[in-house]
Structure 1
Amino acid sequence: MLTHPTSERLTALGLTGMAKALHEQRHAPATFDSLGFEERLGLLVDREASERDARRLVARLKSAALRQSACVEDLDLRTPRGIDRTVMAHLVDGSWIARHENLLITGPTGLGKSWIACALGQKACRDGRVVAYHRAPRLFEALAIARGDGRHARMLKALARTDLLILDDWGLAVLTLSERRDLLEILEDRHGRSATIVTSQLPLEHWHEAIGDPTLADAILDRLVHNAHRLTLAGESMRRRATRLNPLDPKGQA
């Protein structure tokens, strides 16, 4: 019988999904013997495709380095904090990413801005998109270091290639000159080509001041805001609410 050599050859060729499915068919003849050749072959191919998709998703999630393990199915829409169900359904759909639009999530601390951004990033990964998560202060630090060791241009190119870039905790401090220039380069490379999510405690009307230079602020906000969806959160901190409702378990979903 050629069954075992075939399984070994499939594994050697990297077709591990097909090898597993063939093994299952061999050990459950009552289930598969009634199927025709093309049907059984189709099951092998489907299994291989499914396992490859799963491996690609794991790789995309690892590369995205999302800060929180969040998914849109766990989003709490019952707690009042300014989330419109229709708007959120549109954001979860992800068509705005395909149209290279942006999303600005603002509101006080504790309302789940980062959680929502990570959940949308995870959904984008599941949809086959390349995602990158960065806390804005640490990204600027990394770019400053990269400028000194020759990796700066390579980092900017990598940021430009992502389908969805998440910039978390933006606006915690006024930008320096190099940070303003880096942000402008990032947004210029992405403008009209890919989507960006920005989260901030700072209300949008104060972003101009946070950039620190009127000319560069105009250029940055022009590329970021004019085609952006806005999600403005308000209400009680989710963390304080979770602690009050269950003081032994301060963790809560966003």
Structure 2
Amino acid sequence: MNPMPALEPALKQLRLSGILDSMEIRNKQAIENGLSHVEFLAMLIQDEVARREQKKFSLRVRRAGFRSEKTLESFDFSYNPSVNKALILDLATCRFLEEKAPVLIVGPCGTGKSHTAQALGHAAARNGYEVLFTPIGKLLGMLQAAKATNTYDRKLSTLAKTDLLIIDDFGLKPFKSSENEDFHDLIAERYERCATVITSNLDFAEWGEAFNNKLLGAATLDRIRHGAYKVILEGRSYRSSREEAALKNLVAGAEENT
């Protein structure tokens, strides 16, 4: 007697319908290898756990708002040998999240700051952490919009509790008066409670220039720098290398057609 017609609706009722995806394969393996009923059941349950974890990971990545699929596996460390690979790989273990420590990533345009930050975000998502990646302009815009709708406290609380907040392009434009306060409030709420990654084209000594309120800026930066890991990316621009490669391909194609 084939139990599948009765089994399928029962599994769906129990929200275990994912088991159906591997049922046939696992059943065949169990027969071929002479597995016990318990061993067969264990394989099905492990498949279901893996499926659910993958689904949760995909949801965390989607909510994180990454610009693209940037991971450490796709980062070319050999392009700029001066990059501290050991430090970046250590950060990818997510120990800094347990420490509630900031990570500050600086370097010229095109040296991989956003890629590194998003790669750390992917690593955090794989380890079960909730992540949000946002350019600083968009972040400040969200807080300003929340003020306009009287939801500032709620938005600030949500951002403050996110396991890992990645703020991209700090210091790209000077803060406006209200933005000084908003950014300070957010950093103060997250200080020693949650980890924050910040990228910037500015050298660390220049970060104070982003604030027009120097007193508030000093207090904010004091919290950002306390116990922070500092990643300095130097060398050639990855964007330039892509442009050079595209130009070479264009020239090679033109020569072939002549």
Q: TM-score, normalised by structure 2?
A: 0.90
* Distance in 1 (alpha carbons) for counterparts of 2:210 and 2:133: 21
Q: What count of residue pairs does the alignment treat as equivalent?
A: 249
How far the C-alpha of 1:19 sits from its partner, in A, is 2.7
Segments ≥4 residues shifted beyond 6 Å: none
What is the CA-CA distance between 1:11 and the residue it aligns to? 1.8
- Displacement, 1:25? 3.8
| Partner Cα distance (2:153, 2:15) in 1 | 35
Match of 2:10 in 1: 9
**Matched residues in 1 for 2:229 and 2:14: separation?**
46
Which residue pairs with 2:74 in the alignment?
74
Structure 1 stretch displaced more, 146-155 or 55-64: 146-155
Could you list the runs of 5+ residues in structure 1 that have no partner in the other structure? none
Structure 2 partner of 1:205: 205
Deviation at 1:192, TM superposition (A): 0.9
Distance 1:29 1:42, change over 3 A: closer
SS at match of 2:133: strand
| Structure 2 partner of 1:149 | 149
Partner of 1:192: 192
Q: 1:4 to 1:28 in 2, by over 3 A?
A: farther
Aligned-partner SS, 1:104: strand
Whether 1:20 aligns to 2:30 is no
Secondary structure in 1 matching 2:170? coil
Across the aligned residues of Structure 1 and Structure 2, the Cα RMSD in angstroms comes to 1.8
Counterpart amino acid of residue 14 in structure 1:
R
Q: Which runs of 5+ in 2 are unaligned?
A: 251-258
The Cα shift of 1:64 comes to: 0.2
DSSP-derived class of the 2:196 partner? strand
Q: Is the 8 A contact 2:106 2:199 kept in 1?
A: yes
Q: Deviations over 1:139-189 (max 9, x none)?
A: 111211110112222211111121110000110121112111111111111
Match of 1:87 in 2: 87
Would the aligned equivalents of 2:72 and 2:116 in 1 still touch at CA under 8 Å? yes
Deviation, 1:249, is: 7.1
Structure 1 letter corresponding to 2:56? R
Displacement of 1:20:
2.5
Cross-structure match for 1:53: 53
Distance 1:127 1:249 in 2: 40
Once residues 212 and 224 of structure 1 are traced to their aligned partners in structure 2, the CA distance between those partners, rounded to angstroms, is: 17
| CA distance in 1 between partners of 2:151 and 2:58 (Å) | 26
- Work out whether residues 82 and 232 of structure 1, in 8 Å CA contact, stay in contact via their aligned partners in 2: no
TM-score computed with the length of structure 1 as normaliser: 0.92
Aligned to 1:214: 214
| Residue identity matched to 1:142 | M
Q: Secondary structure at the match of 1:173?
A: coil
Q: 1:171 touches 1:201 (CA, 8 Å); kept in 2? A: yes
SS in 2 for 1:216: helix
> Matches of 1:23 and 1:137 in 2, distance apart?
51
Q: How does 1:159-238 map to 2 (within 5 A)?
A: 159-238=159-238
What SS does structure 2 have at the residue aligned with 1:93? coil
